[in-house]
Amino acid sequence: MQIPLQQFENYIDETILKRGLSYFRKGAVNEVEELSPGQFEAIVSGSDDYTVHLQINGGIITEHWCNCPYDLGPVCKHVAAVLFHMQQEEMELSQPRKKKPSAGKHSKKKTVEEQVRELLGKLSHDDLKQFILEQCIGNPSFRQIFISGFAYLVSEESKEMYKKQIQSFITSVEGRRGYIDWTGAGVIGKAVESLLFTAEKHFDQAHYQSTIYIACAVMEEMTPLLNYVDDSNGAIGGTIDQAFELLNQVAQAEIPDKLRLELLGYCITTFGKNIYEDWDWHLGMLDLASRIVKTESEGNKVIARIDKSKASAYTLERVQLIKWELLLKIKGTEEAERFLIDNLANSRLRTIAIEAAIKDKNYEKAIGFAQDGIKSDAKEKPGVAYTWYDWLLKIAMIQHDPDRIIEYARILFVKSNQHGQDYYQLLKITVLPDRWKIFVEAIITDFQKDSRGYHFDEISGIFINEKWWDRLFDLLKTKPSLQYIEAFEKYLASGYAKELVELYANGIIQLLIRSSDRNQYQEACRYLRRMKKLGGNDKCNDLSRKIRAEYPRRSALLDELSRV
């Protein structure tokens, strides 16, 4: 979400704004640092210290990020607090007094980048080397960043080296019984994110081997961690997703063939050993392998691994789809189609077969696939079976066959509960006008006889489409919920205003019997206002008096009634 800096308060939830303003006024925002032109960083103190990053271009906040666990909206209170801090002069805001700057004219503060470049220009080579050495010895965080950032320059770099780094992160927060709580997960996640940031830099600099080492190390160490960690904030799972995405980016890059084969081998091996079993990354490795295959012999290795695996019912469809895509890539259309025909029980493959037949204008073949799908799935997977009816309808429309359009649209409208009014409108323009009334009455009868239940919504939809207001009102009386009364009000108000007022009154009484909080009281009062709009002012006032007498101790209800 892009936000104009000078109007940020118009783009952020009011509750978050209030909390952010409170943080700002308490002085929770430390001085905002400009890291480089347009890039800002600030620390916001609360229950913990959180880091906020902002990217601002031309007065527009193009990126905003905070490392707090808030995930219920696009902007957290810490980001809002920093924005209030940055706009405090324009908004004439005040905060606790801090140490006054010395008097005199000040030039614009240098960015962090400018300050660092200035220092680097003045430090000697030996002094800089000594400083880095001291920091690596005494500062584990700096050591990790430095070594992982330049490990590709030494022969010792390996996946195992990075795995040991991650293991040290885990060990540092692991509890006595091995379980890691929410706070510990956040600490580990933050450390691994730093490592992944290094991997992204390696990728940008075409150091693909280093990128692969780090991504694979993260996936292998963090995936088992999910079994004994509180990852409710997504700190651990998020790093695995990032690592896997890095592998995908490497696969799409122009990498040396030796490295491509190494990655292919890794994908095949991890899938075969079920290293990521029960997680999305398990099939993700198979999919990645199929995409980096270049030769038939490489493809055959992946297929052999697929054929040896025992896919569960949950994963079988996707595994078969990957195999079909691979066969199409390395064997050609004929072999892929044979596999397709042999595995039409897979709904995704059956859909591909139907689409291909339609594209070739072989409609009878497409119809055969769809009809066979209905026979196969009608009993065990009725929802899928209606998908094949929908394909039959599409083919009938392509062929301009009104009889079959009516047949399939009627089945789908009455039985599938999918896109009901779309099928209804299609029926209405296809059935001959002089037969329409009888046709619709037959559909209503079918609904009423359906053993699955009474199709109130479908029948009311028909009455609304046909403008049969008397029948709609009679139907409403059988199920006079406040929600339905309000939904049908616009259709019935002109002819049944008085009756609707009575239905509203009865519904409000029933609502208040089971109500106990202000939200429900507000809802009841909203319906009282609807009674007034229908001309039921006297009835509304009488009902309000009765409610006050019935519930004299419900102060919140009485308060809401005073606003009606």
Clarify whether residues 41 and 90 are in a common domain: yes
Question: Is 156 part of a structural domain of the chain?
Answer: no
Clarify whether residues 429 and 383 are in a common domain: no
Question: Is 163 part of a structural domain of the chain?
Answer: no
Clarify whether residues 356 and 418 are in a common domain: no
Clarify whether residues 438 and 509 are in a common domain: no
Clarify whether residues 8 and 75 are in a common domain: yes
- Among 44, 66, 94, the domain boundary falls at 94
**Residue 139: predicted pLDDT:** 73
Could you tell me how far CA 472 lies from the centroid of its own chain?
39
Q: Which residues pair with 333 in a beta bridge?
A: none
Of 154, 158, 12, 196, nearest to 87 by C-alpha is 12
Question: Is 262 part of a structural domain of the chain?
Answer: no
Question: Is 103 part of a structural domain of the chain?
Answer: no
Q: Give the Cα separation of 117 and 201 in Å (integer).
A: 20
Clarify whether residues 449 and 520 are in a common domain: no
Q: Of 78 and 516, which is predicted with more confidence? A: 78
| Distances 314 to 181, 224, 280, 319 between C-alpha atoms, Å | 31, 21, 11, 10
Structural domain that includes position 384 = 344-393
Token pair of 436 as six digits: 């329409």
Question: Is 201 part of a structural domain of the chain?
Answer: no
Of 167, 165, 175, 171, nearest to 140 by C-alpha is 165
Question: Is 441 part of a structural domain of the chain?
Answer: yes
Question: Is 10 part of a structural domain of the chain?
Answer: yes
Clarify whether residues 14 and 74 are in a common domain: yes
* Lowest mean per-residue pLDDT among 47-56, 135-144, 313-322: 135-144
Question: Is 374 part of a structural domain of the chain?
Answer: yes
Clarify whether residues 373 and 432 are in a common domain: no
Clarify whether residues 9 and 83 are in a common domain: yes
- Among 325, 359, 393, the domain boundary falls at 393
Work out the pLDDT band at 173, boundaries 50, 70, 90. confident
Which residues contact residue 315 at a Cβ distance below 8 angstroms, ignoring those fewer than 6 apart? 282, 283
- Among 378, 393, 408, the domain boundary falls at 393
Q: Total domain count for the chain?
A: 4
pLDDT at 102 over 50: no
pLDDT in tens, 176-202: 667 888 888 888 888 898 899 989 999
Match 């430090």 to its residue by tokens. Answer: 123
Runs of H (alpha helix) within 273-381? 280-292, 296-308, 313-330, 333-342, 347-359, 363-377
pLDDT at 373 over 60: yes
Q: Give the Cα separation of 421 and 429 in Å (integer).
A: 12
Clarify whether residues 549 and 529 are in a common domain: yes
Clarify whether residues 371 and 418 are in a common domain: no
**Residue 144: predicted pLDDT:** 63
Could you tell me how far CA 405 lies from the centroid of its own chain?
36
Clarify whether residues 368 and 411 are in a common domain: no
| Distances 15 to 20, 22, 64, 75, 558 between C-alpha atoms, Å | 9, 11, 18, 11, 26
pLDDT at 104 over 60: no
